[in-house]
Structure formats: structure tokens, C-alpha cells
């Protein structure tokens, strides 16, 4: 009996040692952290290429060329869309000969985009006055890049090197 009593006391002592340790590990604690992210709005910008070349057709009655990589970057972080316009001046040469701006057609291609934006090209438009060439519905930051074709009716023009200024705007 003495051996059983010692074994029973040893078992109770062992339980007394395990139970307090187990309770300490079972207790849980938690806390919260408030995390803030400040997003600063940027600008709506357009960057056209520095130059474009129009080459005459074999019949010399027209000329065409590419306007490469017109880029719009919208960092306003809003749900506002945007629209781009294009306008060109009359073509003139060093002898003051002109080809009217009304002879110029601008045809934008579909844009390559990043972000949440849908861009719709206008199709072919005469750009002797400011004409919408791309329209976008957007959400948040986005970019769009497109090429365009310029077609120039050169009927009646005299030989020479003509220049004009093509202006792209975004709003």
C-alpha cells in the first residue's frame, strides 16, 4: 500500500506541474494596427513624337506617313476619362507655297494600354481644326500609346519641301 500511495502522490505532483504550464500557453492576446496609404494624384500628360515624315505617292497626288508613339499618361488617380485632339497648320515651303491643312487626314490606330482604361480611336478625321482622335474611359492610373497615319492631298502643289506643325492635346 505504501508503494501505491507514493505512486499516487507522484502522479498528483506531476499533474500539478503540467497543468499550470499548459494554461499559460493556452492564453491568447491580440492587438490591432491601423495602416494608412496616401495616394498622391499626378498629372494628365501627352507626349507626341518630335517629328514625322510624309512621303509622296508615286502619282505625286498624295502623300502619307506615320506619327509614331503618341503617349498619354494619366496619373490623376480618378475615375475621369480623357480625350485627345489633333490639329495641324498649313504646310509651307521656303518660297511661301502652301498646302492647306484641310488637305490633311489623321487616322489613329487602336491604343496599347496599361491600367484600367478603354480607349476608342476616332477613325479618319480632317485636322485643319482641333478634332477628337482618341477618347478614353478610365479608372485609376493608366497609359495609352498609339500610332496614327497622316494622309495629305497634294493635288496642285508645286515641288518643294513643306513643313507643318501637328499639335496633340489631352484633357
Reported as a single tens digit per residue, the pLDDT across 104-132 is 999 999 999 999 999 999 999 999 999 99
Local confidence band at 28 (pLDDT 50, 70, 90 cut-offs): confident
**CB burial string 9-32: b at 16+ within 10 A, e below:** eeeeeeeeeeeeeeeeeeeeeeee
Rounded average pLDDT over 152-167: 96
Q: What is the pLDDT of residue 71?
A: 98
DSSP for residue 102: G
Question: Is the confidence at residue 64, as pLDDT, over 50?
Answer: yes
Q: Assess contact for 87 and 131: CB atoms under 8 A.
A: yes
- Is the pTM for the entire model greater than 0.95? no
Q: What is the pLDDT of residue 25?
A: 62
Q: Assess contact for 66 and 149: CB atoms under 8 A.
A: yes
Amino acid at each position: 500500500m505504501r508503494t501505491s500511495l507514493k505512486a499516487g502522490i507522484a502522479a498528483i505532483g506531476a499533474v500539478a506541474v503540467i497543468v499550470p504550464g499548459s494554461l499559460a500557453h493556452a492564453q491568447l492576446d491580440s492587438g490591432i494596427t491601423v495602416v494608412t496609404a496616401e495616394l498622391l494624384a499626378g498629372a494628365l500628360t501627352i507626349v507626341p513624337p518630335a517629328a514625322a515624315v510624309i512621303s509622296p505617292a508615286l502619282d505625286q497626288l498624295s502623300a502619307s506617313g506615320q506619327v509614331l508613339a503618341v503617349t498619354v499618361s494619366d496619373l490623376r488617380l480618378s475615375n475621369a476619362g480623357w480625350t485627345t485632339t489633333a490639329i495641324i497648320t498649313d504646310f509651307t515651303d521656303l518660297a511661301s507655297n502652301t498646302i492647306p491643312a484641310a488637305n490633311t487626314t489623321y487616322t489613329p490606330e487602336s491604343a496599347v494600354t496599361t491600367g484600367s482604361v478603354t480607349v476608342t480611336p476616332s477613325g479618319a478625321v480632317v485636322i485643319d481644326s482641333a478634332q477628337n482622335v482618341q477618347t478614353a474611359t478610365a479608372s485609376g492610373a493608366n497609359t495609352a500609346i498609339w500610332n496614327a497615319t497622316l494622309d495629305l492631298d497634294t493635288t496642285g502643289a508645286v515641288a518643294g519641301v513643306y513643313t507643318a506643325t501637328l499639335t496633340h492635346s489631352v484633357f
